[in-house]
Amino acid sequence: MGEGLCAAFPLTLLWEQIQVIGYFLEDFVDMLCNQKLHQSWELLFHHSVVIVCFGIAVLLHQYVGFALVALLVEINSIFLHLRQILLMANLVHTTCYRLNSIINLGTYVVFRIATLAWMARWLFLNRENVPPATYAVGTVGMAIMMPMNIILFYRLLRSDFFKSSQEVQWEKEQ
């Protein structure tokens, strides 16, 4: 399994990685143009790390399998984006929002936290097989992504499941 993640892949998979880079570049530029920096700096930082890491896979024609595993994280993005849409539509107090919150947390644990943990473990166990510069970029990338995702998980838990007594009181008054 370890060799398959760093070996060269067919051209179609490299094109898939190029499309991913294109998506993150487009989203990066869109956020720069349409959002305030203090609102989007974390996502801009995240996108920068993804662009660099996926760019290495494309440029070296290696580690495409590792990058494909990283895309499992994006499965959870479906539910994160649906959560944002429901918030913007003011549908927080609906069954749909509650159901999405539960699915969101479940997919977050499986597809974000577990995938990132597996990737960090794989990188550590295969450090002798990865060139030092690539290993350094991968390690720094994981060191950035893991805390960011743990913090976001905490925010989601706090926001959707553990409201403060002040928030509960305010909602009762409405």
- Residue keyed to tokens 């998506």: 23
CA–CA separation, 79 vs 92, rounded Å? 14
Please count the structural domains in the chain: 1
The verdict on residue 7 lying in a domain is no
The verdict on residue 6 lying in a domain is no
Segments forming the whole domain that contains residue 71: 18-168
The verdict on residue 124 lying in a domain is yes
The verdict on residue 3 lying in a domain is no
Give the pLDDT of residue 167.
61
Confidence of residue 165 (pLDDT cuts 50, 70, 90): low
Among 9-23, 79-93, 98-112, which stretch is predicted with the lowest mean pLDDT? 9-23
The verdict on residue 4 lying in a domain is no
The reported pTM is 0.83
CA–CA separation, 104 vs 116, rounded Å? 16
CA–CA separation, 140 vs 65, rounded Å? 19
Give the pLDDT of residue 14.
83
Confidence of residue 174 (pLDDT cuts 50, 70, 90): low
The verdict on residue 90 lying in a domain is yes
Write the pLDDT tens digit of every residue in 123-157.
999 999 999 999 999 999 999 999 999 999 999 99
Confidence of residue 5 (pLDDT cuts 50, 70, 90): low
The verdict on residue 174 lying in a domain is no
Give the pLDDT of residue 166.
61
